[in-house]
Amino acid sequence: MNEKKSTNWTAKKLAINALAIALVCVSTMVIQIPIPLGYMHLGNCCILLVSVYFGNMTGMLAGGIGSCLADLLSGYTQWIIPTLIIKGIMGLVIAMIAYREGEEIRMMRLRTFLGAAAGIVIMIAGYTFAGCFLYGGMAAGFAQIPGLTTEGVIGLLLFYVIGFAFEKAKIPVFIKRLA
């Protein structure tokens, strides 16, 4: 008898996703540095980590829901829908490129870098386009690019610093057993 992999939501999957959403929300809200039309934060680093370590669904949910909750709770309500879409796609794409179920998670893989870089590019492009739409002009959208790029690069660097620390502490082995 062949066993099919269960796609049902177990209590463990629900708890992992809820914790990932909370992690992204809190990390987005803890340190907020204003940039044109928004704020810089550490949430992108957490979206990168969650997507690489837990895969598509968790990356998408944590990125989208965690980030839009942070916008809601921080008073950036005009950004809730764009954030849900942009950060959800960001988490999904990162995981689609970098994550392989059952495979050891390694920071020094090309696809880990490509997934992370693709996610950051999606974030920058998405918010630039959304800024053009929300603020009625190309100038407003493009005014965000330097801040978004800085935010993305800082998130990427922190992702690698934390990811390498995780590897040294053997945390990916624990995460693999957990997920």
Q: Confirm or reject CATH 1.10.1760.20 for domain 15-28+36-178, answering yes or no.
A: yes
Q: How far is Cα 72 from Cα 70, in angstroms, rounded to an integer? A: 5
Q: What is the pLDDT of residue 126?
A: 98
146, 132 contact by CB (below 8 A): no
pLDDT digits (tens), the chain, 179 positions:
455 555 678 999 999 999 999 999 999 999 988 877 677 899 999 999 999 999 999 999 999 999 999 999 999 999 999 999 999 999 999 999 999 887 888 899 999 999 999 999 999 999 999 999 998 899 988 998 999 999 999 999 999 999 999 999 988 888 877 76
pLDDT confidence of residue 86: 99
- Name the pTM for this structure: 0.91
Q: Taking a C-beta distance cutoff of 8 angstroms, is the pair 20, 58 a contact?
A: yes
Q: 131, exposed or middle or buried, with CB in 10 Å at 0-12, 13-18, 19+?
A: buried
pLDDT reported for residue 7: 64
- Paired with 35 in beta bridges are 38
C-beta of residue 37 within 8 angstroms of C-beta of residue 65: no
Q: How is the chain split into domains, by residue range?
A: 15-28+36-178
pLDDT at 5: 56
Give dist(CA 120, CA 153) in Å, integer.
Answer: 8
**pLDDT computed for residue 1 by the predictor:** 46
146 C-beta neighbours (distance < 10 Å), count = 11
Per-residue pLDDT, 146: 92
Helices 80-98 + 43-54 axis angle, to 10: 40
Instruction: Quote the pLDDT of residue 4.
Output: 53
Instruction: Give the angle subtended at the CA of 109 by the CAs of 19 and 28, to the nearest 5°.
Output: 30
